[in-house]
């Protein structure tokens, strides 16, 4: 009996040991399987992203049959919020960043669980500073002289980032849209248009551009010329036959009468002329009437005075010469004091001026005339505007540029400073 019991006990112990060993193997297999399922990772994509401060940006990850979506920035989960808005459309999972900043630079990862394991879509992000340019003129508005009733356009081109706010002024009073005044913009080109200009539109027109990084302004003038009646007429009458006995081939008498003006005549001749009847005037053997403008009248008067002075003195007639005004010394109407521009861009610096006679123009830099270096500078001059053009600005173009205007009545100078901004 004792031996049998021992055998049973031994067999029972062996059975228990075998059962325990099998159970341990099953548990180990389950643990191993769980570890494999939990730590399997699949990198679906790896993308480089360049972003700019201030912009809104949406990141998109394509993960089929995904669950438990998480967006992670540099190891920290980004909660679904107004600043980081989650979205889904089919297999596309999105996150929209409301306003990009330097904080979003680094690695942004979209994680999702699938039947194949943990899927990761990674975005390596680089954030650049927002472009910040103060407004500057590429083309400035030009002064104009127009006839009454003509249309007028002041046009200029302005660079700046962000796009500047624009205001127009007339004699320091803001210009608004009216039936005959239009304001328009096409990309960087700004225009003020005046329909059928009148004398009331004369004045100084200023455009001002402003953004958060700075401002610039430019002024140009408008001169509306009133249309007047036909210029005063001059009647020149020549009589030859009456003086034939005194001077065989000389110019006997010349009378100049200007409508609306009084001419000086020697007394006896004036009385004789006034006493002539219409019949006797028509009977003159040589008579001519010439109508001309005031400018032609001045030229004719001068020629008659110089070539026939002695003859007219002999016959007791005299003439008063018509003369021009005395002229006007040069004056700079407008020239910007400071100009700021990036290298590589074209630059035009314009100056509106006046003067009679038209003044001579001279642009200089550090004592050297700019037109001597024609490869670098161009100078364009019209009747009342001179423009210094640099087709492609370089950093060493920075400095003070002096404009000198001169005519026989005087001279004037002004300086504009050009600043080159770093890229």
Per residue in 347-381, pLDDT (tens digit) is 888 888 999 999 999 989 888 888 766 677 888 88
Minimum mean pLDDT range among 91-95, 218-222, 289-293? 289-293
Query: Is 90 exceeded by the pLDDT of residue 316?
Result: no
Could you confirm whether domain 131-228 is CATH 2.60.40.10? yes
Domain with CATH 2.60.40.10 in the chain: 41-128, 131-228, 327-423
pLDDT of residue 228: 52
Residues recorded for the chain: 423
Strand order in the sheet with 165-170: 144-147, 214-225, 203-211, 165-170, 173-174
Q: Which residue has the higher pLDDT, 65 or 337?
A: 65
Query: Is 60 exceeded by the pLDDT of residue 63?
Result: yes
41-128 has which CATH code? 2.60.40.10
Give the mean model confidence (pLDDT) for residues 10-30: 48
Could you confirm whether domain 327-423 is CATH 3.90.1640.10? no
Cα angle value 380/381/384 (rounded, 5°): 145
Residue 41 parent element (H or E): strand 41-52
Listed residue (102, 157, 113, 168) closest to 135, CA to CA: 157
pLDDT of residue 325: 53
Listed residue (98, 94, 28) closest to 66, CA to CA: 94
Give the mean model confidence (pLDDT) for residues 193-219: 93
189 within 8 A of 138, measured Cβ to Cβ? no
Strands 410-420 and 338-341: parallel
Query: Is 80 exceeded by the pLDDT of residue 11?
Result: no
State pLDDT tens for residues 113-161: 988 888 989 999 999 887 778 899 999 999 999 998 999 999 999 999 8
Confidence label for 216 from pLDDT (cuts 50, 70 and 90):
very high
């Amino acid at each position: 009996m004792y031996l049998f019991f021992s055998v049973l006990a031994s067999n029972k112990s062996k059975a228990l040991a075998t059962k325990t060993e099998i159970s341990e193997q099953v548990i180990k297999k389950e643990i191993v399987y769980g570890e494999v399922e939990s730590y399997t990772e699949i990198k679906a994509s790896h993308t480089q992203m360049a972003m700019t401060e201030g912009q809104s940006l949406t990141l998109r990850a394509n993960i089929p049959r995904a669950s438990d979506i998480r967006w992670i920035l540099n190891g920290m989960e980004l909660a679904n919020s107004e600043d980081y808005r989650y979205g889904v459309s089919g297999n596309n999972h999105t996150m929209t960043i409301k306003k990009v900043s330097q904080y979003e630079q680094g690695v942004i990862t979209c994680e999702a669980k699938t039947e194949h394991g943990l899927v990761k879509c990674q975005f390596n992000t680089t954030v650049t500073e927002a472009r910040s340019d103060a407004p500057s003129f590429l083309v400035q508005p030009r002064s104009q002289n127009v006839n009454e009733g003509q249309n007028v356009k002041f046009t200029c081109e302005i660079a700046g980032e962000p796009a500047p706010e624009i205001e127009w002024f007339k004699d320091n009073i803001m210009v608004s849209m009216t039936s005959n005044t239009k304001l328009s913009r096409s990309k960087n080109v700004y225009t003020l248009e005046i329909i059928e200009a009148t004398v009331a539109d004369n004045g100084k027109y200023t455009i001002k551009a402003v953004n958060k990084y700075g401002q610039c302004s430019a002024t140009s003038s408008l001169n509306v010329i009133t249309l007047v009646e036909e210029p005063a007429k001059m009647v020149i009458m020549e009589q030859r036959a009456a003086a034939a006995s005194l001077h065989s081939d000389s110019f006997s008498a010349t009378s100049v009468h200007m409508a609306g003006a009084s001419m000086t005549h020697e007394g006896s001749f004036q009385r004789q002329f006034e006493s002539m009847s219409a019949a006797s005037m028509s009977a003159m053997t040589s008579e001519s009437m010439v109508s001309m403008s005031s400018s032609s009248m001045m030229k004719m008067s001068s020629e008659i005075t110089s070539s026939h002075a002695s003859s007219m003195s002999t016959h007791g007639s005299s003439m008063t010469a018509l003369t021009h005004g005395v002229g006007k010394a040069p004056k700079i109407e407008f020239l910007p004091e400071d100009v700021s521009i990036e290298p590589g861009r074209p630059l035009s610096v314009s100056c509106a001026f006046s003067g009679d006679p038209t003044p001579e123009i001279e642009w200089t830099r550090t004592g050297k005339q700019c037109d001597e270096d024609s490869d670098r500078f161009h100078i364009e001059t019209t009747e009342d505007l001179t423009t210094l053009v640099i087709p492609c600005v370089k950093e060493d173009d920075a400095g003070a540029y002096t404009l000198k205007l001169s005519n026989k009545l005087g001279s004037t100078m002004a300086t504009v400073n050009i600043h080159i901004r770093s890229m």
